[in-house]
Amino acid sequence: MAHRLDEQVAIITGASRGIGRAIAEAYAAEGARLCLIATDMARLQEVQDSLGLPAEQILTLSLNVRDRDACFAAVKQVEQHFGRVDVLVNNAGVYRAKSFLDYTPGDFQDLLDVNLFGVLHFMQAVLPGMQARRHGRIVNMASTAGKWGSRNQSAYNVSKHAVVGITRCVALEASPHNVTVNAICPGFIQTDMVEELKAQVAHSSGMTGEELVKAALSRVPLGRILNPTEIAGLAVFLGSAESSGMTGQSIHVDGGMVMF
């Protein structure tokens, strides 16, 4: 039986847990060959073991996406191992909540180093090969925080607005080469990051975690925190031939929280 990502070679960053792990599971189920990236090798190994793919169909690489040389070396290693990269899922990300007045320039730099520059390094590393082969799909993980303002997380929102912006700009330049670049904007998804958000925002706002969740969900028409698999489905679509007619888009998967 044919699968939606048969024979496709995909790099997924931030694949050791949360949304990235769910994307790795969905991509494996759809027949992709995988390179999984994160900093924590033990967790990556656990994901690799759980997927049960033949050893020649999966690579796990421990690297920090802030490190441009390491990102380029990883892409080179994948191209040597699998012959090419068809799909890049730029999912690795970090979160930190503070009021604007409490954030330091270092906080902004730190979030941009991972959430923007990690995305930029990997796109610049894969695009020459994708463009030469006239085939490629790039999926960047932005956020609803990349589309609107939120209190007490301006540095995170800035980094995710940057992901939406760079997705649009690179989509324009890559289109003539038949490479598409799209972004996903999740709302509240049940992962370690949303637990960090609850703890940090509750601390700064004086609410309990429960009060915070209630307030947050009052803005979500579907009324629940989503599951990582609900993001993985869109990541499969955007990485597959089914999305060949769309580029430069940033799509909300947020229970209806943002409607424009």
Which positions lie near ligand NAP, rule CB under 6 A? Answer: 13-20, 38-40, 43, 64-66, 91-94, 114, 141, 143, 186, 188-189, 191-194
The string of DSSP codes covering 35-56 is EEEES-HHHHHHHHHHHT--GG
Tell me the H-state helices in 39-191.
41-51, 68-82, 105-115, 117-133, 154-174
- Residue 32, both tokens: 């992709």
Catalytic annotation, pick one of 27, 95, 103, 156: 156
Closest CA to 238 of 250, 228, 229: 250
Nearer to ligand NAP, 121 or 135 (CB): 121
95 is catalytic: no
Inter-CA distances, 52 with 28, 45, 56, 65, 195, Å: 9, 11, 11, 26, 29
- 3-state DSSP call for residue 149? coil
CB of 104 vs ligand NAP, minimal distance in Å? 19
Q: How far is the CB of 61 from ligand NAP (least distance, A)?
A: 10
**Residue closer to ligand NAP (CB basis): 143 or 180:** 143
The nearer residue to ligand NAP, 174 or 193, going by C-beta atoms, is 193
Rank residues 16 and 247 by Cβ distance to ligand NAP and give the closer one. Answer: 16
Smallest gap from Cβ 70 to ligand NAP, in A, equals 9
Backbone φ and ψ of 257, nearest 5°: -65, -40
Quote the least distance from Cβ 111 to ligand NAP, whole Å. 9
Active site amino acids: 156
